[in-house]
Chains A and B, each alone.
Chain A
Amino acid sequence: MKAINAKAAIETHEKYKPGAHAAGSRASASDLRSEIDHLLAEGDAATASLLLHELWTTDSSSSTASFVVSRYEQLRPNSNLLPYRLVVLRSFTVEPMVPLLRGAAFHGGVDLDVRLSEFNAHVQEIVDPQSSLYTSAPSAVILAVQTRDIAPDLWRDFSSMSSEQVQAAAMRVSGEFRQWISTFRQHSQAHLIIHNLEQPELPNRGVLDSQSGPSQIAAIQQINDNLRKLAGEQPGVYILDYDALVARHGRAHWHDERKWATVRLPIAAQNLNHLVKEWLRFLYPLTGKIAKAVVVDLDNTLWGGVIGEDGIAGIHLGTEYPGAGFQDVQCALLDLHRRGILLAVCSKNNLDDAMEALQNHPGMLLKPSHFAAMRINWGDKAQNLSEIAAELNIGVDSMAFLDDNPIERQQVRSLLPEVFVIDVPNDALGIARALREHPAFERLATSSEDLQRGHYYQAQRERDQLEQTISSREDFYRSLQQEIEIAPLNGLLLTRIAQLTNKTNQFNLTTHRYTEQQIAVLTATPGWHCFSLRVRDRFGDNGLVGVAITHHQGESYEIDTFLLSCRVIGRTVETAFLSFLADHARKLGAKRIAGWFLPTKKNAPARDFYSTHGFTEAEKNDAGTLWRLELAENILQCPEWVSMRMQTGERV
């Protein structure tokens, strides 16, 4: 969403502020619908889009989903939505979930195209290379097959089966999944999300199932364990724990057996959204809709009460009610921190009051060192959030905001619509759940960099302090004692490399996004190379922070991808990395090295990279500029203050 007039947005929100809907939700929601249609007729796409968000946040039911989807389709030409194609292979009716899923996706900025396989035709679609599963070239595929369809014997006739038959059935089903996954991978690089198998509400053998003899629960669990192993062996294959989803919402209330028996829809109307939300927990990270940082309020969010009024002895935080709910919020935030998500504070308080609680309250699980940035002042939160984003070097569209105050949330939502504003319930005990449920915090793989990220930012603060005490740039570079290590592609680094191609926006010359599988395929092709860059300095290891993918052919050597994480930009390692590539090109017999700069909204920091390194403009079109350097005439040097090694340990 772009170019929203902030003032108009706030006024609109004043008119429709939360609570206005509380009584007679259908009545005010229908006013909102008329207003949206009115705005669409007048051509005010920005405000209409804002109100669609408002409507969806208030009521994400099937009927609202249909309305929202049809209006977003009218808005599509004026909007900046990311197109994404999804195929669902299924053994049951999924059609009613499609509007819910598309509505939620539009809300998240994604124009989701959903194609469903023919009913129970998942096997044919997977084995036939000409099937529309493959010809429609989806980015992701969901395989949603029920226990009763794939293992009817285990589901219904279990009490008639011997231990050997049970074992054979479990092996058969696991083998089918293995076969499907490997066949799918031969024909498609798409992400594959597989529902695991649900357990019966009441085992066929009653309580005997948990005693001696064959166990239905254990047999289904065995298949699920095998599925988890299968997914672990293949990049881009993920398990959706459907059994846990059903259990979480209540096995006895999940199903609607009448609709299963009549229209093959096994899930009750009230639960359709739960499945959709579970899908979103995969689709958010797959489409790059991720929060890299969460900015939290303090009063009534990290602790109960107001520190400025109640004092350190008066706020609620600990193992007893009501402090336990707030300690649970801190637990949930610690989990995010360990997942590599940065934490920051934005609170309207006197700095001394807040710091006293953060540093000294015995119930605090989070310490000041867990926070990568802090804004404790009386200023505007949207302004503070923008400053935090700049300080952490991330976009505001990579930030989540947690605040108990609905007015603050609404203000941020209006002024910074890209921020993931977490809907917090009125009940303090629900805040932790809202954090744990939010799809923008989901990750489908973690690299060791993710786990270390909090420390990297702490070291960065120390570096910044050093820079302020040293007068010349060169002295600063020297004092950093930077060592870089360049490694050719290997399987261990693949996750992190793919992650960087998908997450790096600023210092990224071409912004080509690649999956793990695509990089593996590409670099197995003759002439293609992939290098990663690790940077260490006196403050510690910055981790794997750079990627280059190149293509050599005869006398030419083209840079397909060149990117660096923002935490090492401006310290001349980019020059060192480029000099390595020039050297590599020369050794392969290339005469010149070339690379495109493809401008995006975010990669201005990389704009002058080639020109400042002696490249000249060779070609220019609507997409960008091709820069070229004759290797005979120019010698790119690694800066003297950077020591460079290949991973083998030899000096370059």
Chain B
Amino acid sequence: MTLPLFERVRGIVADVLAIPAAQLTLQSSSKDIEGWDSVHHLNLVLALEQEFDLQFEPEEIDIMTSIEQVVSIMESKLSKSASA
């Protein structure tokens, strides 16, 4: 059984930022979450890379600043690797 991508991403964001998952929505972003600073952003990127076994490009990392953005970048990366 695999959870939907949003659920998995939300769980990781909740862990890394130490926020209850229930408080996070697709719209949650670094602008409105105080703990989402540069160190936590790097931790989040690394946690996602470990969980999904992939590596992000620096350009992708720069714009992964909301859960929605993270999910959309992940979707395109995962579909590319699935078709490759």
Contact = CB atoms under 8 A, between A and B. Distances in A.
B43 A66 contact: yes
B49 A269 contact: yes
B75 interface: no
A61 B55 CA distance: 16
Given A26-B11, A66-B16, A256-B55, A99 B43 contact: yes
Interface in A226-285: 256, 258, 261-263, 265, 268-270, 272
Nearest to B41: A263
Interface in A36-54: 37
Contacts of B45: 269
A258 B58 contact: yes
Contact of A262 (B8, B17, B49, B58): B58
B55 A95 contact: no
B18 interface: yes
A63 B2 contact: no
A33 B42 CA distance: 23
Nearest to B45: A269
Contacts of A269: 45-47, 49-50, 55
A23 interface: yes
B61 A262 contact: yes
Interface in A5-29: 23-24, 26-27
B82 interface: no
Interface of A is mostly: helix
Contacts of B39: 95
A263 B47 contact: no
Most central of A26, A70, A263, A269 by chain B CB within 10 Å: A269
Interface in A336-350: none
A59 to B, nearest CB: 9
B12 interface: yes
Given A96-B46, A269-B46, A270-B49, A66 B58 contact: no
B43 A62 contact: yes
Nearest to A268: B55
A258 B53 CA distance: 16
Interface string B30-72: 0000000001001101110111010101100100000000000
B3 A26 contact: yes
B84 interface: no
Nearest to A271: B50
B12 to A, nearest CB: 5
Contacts of A270: 49-50, 53
Interface of B: 1-3, 8, 11-12, 15-18, 20-21, 39, 42-43, 45-47, 49-51, 53, 55, 57-58, 61
Given A30-B21, A33-B15, A95-B42, 18 more contacts: A23-B1, A26-B3, A26-B8, A26-B11, A27-B3, A63-B50, A63-B51, A64-B15, A66-B16, A66-B18, A70-B18, A95-B39, A95-B43, A258-B57, A262-B58, A269-B50, A269-B55, A270-B53
23 contacts: A24-B1, A24-B2, A26-B2, A26-B8, A26-B51, A30-B3, A30-B21, A33-B11, A62-B16, A63-B51, A66-B43, A70-B18, A93-B42, A95-B42, A95-B43, A96-B42, A256-B55, A258-B57, A265-B42, A268-B49, A269-B49, A272-B46, A272-B50
Interface of A: 23-24, 26-27, 30, 33, 37, 61-64, 66-67, 70, 93, 95-96, 99, 256, 258, 261-263, 265, 268-270, 272
- Kindly list the 3 A-B residue pairs having the minimum CB-CB distance in the complex, ordered from nearest: A269-B49, A63-B47, A63-B15
